[in-house]
Amino acid sequence: MDELKDIYDRITYLRHKGMKMKDIAALVDFQPSVFSALYTTVIPAFVKNTERGMAPAEALDGALVWVNNVSKRRLLASLPSMKATLMATDVEPEPVRGGGGNPYAAALGSIMARSAEAIGSHAGTYMSYSMSSGSHAMKLEPYMIAPAAGGGYAEVTHNNAYGTTHRGLVMMNGASHIYLVFNENPYPQLALFSVCLRLPMYERPPFLRGIYTCFDYNYNPIARRILFVKLSDSTSADEFAKLNGCLKAREELEGQELAYYDYTCRGEDAVRLCNIPSPTMRIDDLAEEKRLLGSLNAG
């Protein structure tokens, strides 16, 4: 029964790459309804039961009581072949073409295609925590990371604190970083908003730390610390649409949110530029900008 967790993870991987559940079920010669019950109910219940200290056989019996269409005997007999078949199955992403003679532009398609393959356990729904530009409040904004339909690239959806939804692209640097890139303004305007998340050497991390860059209200670039806390593995657009962003003052926070505020919303957690009144375009302007920023932070 050790195969059950590996089977669950592989099904999740194939679904994230755009493969339909009925097609995965056909590979292992299971009825779609039975295979769906196995994935959505039996294996998650089995894992929870084992985490509570049950022996594997008892844990499986306890999981099977929740469904009436999964045969224990057939399931146990098919586990080795099911795992082997699923592990040998993959989905070839559709390449994103373009780039002309620029090697970086030409490589972007391959980078995005590889990211769709590698996103794996990092796909899902997150709540982000970061400093607000316009107040001393903390922003709470949901993000969803998922392979796009067809598996050609990975995408990210963001519901900001002001009721706007953005969709962008996901790129990965091997196993060390995830980059999320958006255009905050409608095309043809361009206002890049990007997040760089550091991936820890930890399987299924509950949160990710990062830095994000965007424009403030005066169109000055700003970089801030950001924290992504994973809510679930769900990549359902309908479920994500129900999540809203908001602003919270420090006085409204309690428990873990206070720790998130202290991590993301202190003065040292943002690097800013600001407008310089009557610039001379000499080196003295640099010191003047730092003086202005110091007075703003002190206020």
**Mind listing the domains of the chain with CATH numbers?**
3-87 (no CATH), 104-265 (2.40.128), 273-299 (no CATH)
Calculate mean pLDDT across residues 289-295: 84
Average predicted confidence (pLDDT) for the chain: 87
Q: Is the dihedral of CA 209, 212, 216, 222 positive or negative?
A: positive
Cβ-Cβ contacts under 8 Å for 27 (sequence gap 6 or more)? 85, 86, 89
- Which of the two residues, 218 and 82, has the higher pLDDT score? 82
Q: Is the dihedral of CA 212, 165, 131, 136 positive or negative?
A: positive
| pLDDT at residue number 118 | 85
pLDDT at 284 over 80: yes
b/e per residue 132-164 (b: at least 16 CB within 10 A): ebeeebbbbbbbbbbbbeebbbbbbbbbbbeee
- Which of the two residues, 21 and 188, has the higher pLDDT score? 21
Calculate mean pLDDT across residues 166-179: 90
Calculate mean pLDDT across residues 98-103: 66
Scanning the chain, the segments in alpha helix (DSSP H) are 3-16, 21-27, 32-37, 43-51, 56-64, 72-87, 103-118, 237-241, 256-264, 284-298
3-class DSSP state of 168: strand
| pLDDT at residue number 94 | 54
Whole-model pTM? Answer: 0.67
3-class DSSP state of 297: helix
Q: How confident is the model at residue 261 (pLDDT cuts 50, 70, 90)?
A: very high
Q: Return the structure tokens found at 235.
A: 């990549």
Pairwise CA distance, residues 24 & 166, whole Å: 31
| pLDDT at residue number 202 | 83
pLDDT at 156 over 70: yes
